[in-house]
Amino acid sequence: MVERPDWTQASYAPPSMGGLICALPLFWLLDHPSALLAQLGQLGLVLLIGVYNGALPAALVEAAPPTVRCTSVALGYNLCYGLFGGLSPFVATWLVERTGNEITPAFLMMASAAVTFVTIFWFRETYRTSFGVAPTTAV
């Protein structure tokens, strides 16, 4: 019998590799004086982010144990997005100021994509595992 491929790796490998390979050309397009090329750069970034975020809710739910799923997903998602999403503009501004190159934030995106690509190999498929018995509470 052919084993089902791991959907987490299959859904996150393309956008993370795309972020690693295409970040620099896309940021170059964003910095181009032509409005059409700048919009093509934005379209490329939106496609990468859309593919990545499309599978994110399912991956978060599969990564958390059923008994603490809501709490762990809410805390993990909100703390990470608050911390990294809040500090990313600061770091990108610092990089541009430090180097004088406006496409330097592409390297921040490439580093994030590389971390994602390495991390997805630690996720395990959980579609065959049981939910287990949830503890009951007395009313």
Whether residue 34 lies inside any domain: the answer is: yes
Measured from the Cβ of residue 12, the count of other Cβ atoms closer than 10 Å reads 23
Q: Which domain holds residue 18?
A: 7-122
Whether residue 134 lies inside any domain: the answer is: no
Whether residue 129 lies inside any domain: the answer is: no
Whether residue 130 lies inside any domain: the answer is: no
Whether residue 2 lies inside any domain: the answer is: no
pTM (whole model) above 0.85: no
Whether residue 131 lies inside any domain: the answer is: no
Q: What percent of the chain has pLDDT over 70?
A: 82
Residue 99 sits at the vertex; the CA angle it makes with 97 and 100, to the nearest 5 degrees, is: 65
Whether residue 1 lies inside any domain: the answer is: no
Domain count, the chain: 1
At 5 the pLDDT is: 55
Whether residue 127 lies inside any domain: the answer is: no
Average pLDDT over residues 123-127: 68
Q: φ, ψ for residue 112 (rounded to 5)?
A: -65, -40
Q: pLDDT tens digits for 59-110?
A: 888 888 888 888 989 998 999 999 998 999 999 999 999 999 999 999 999 9
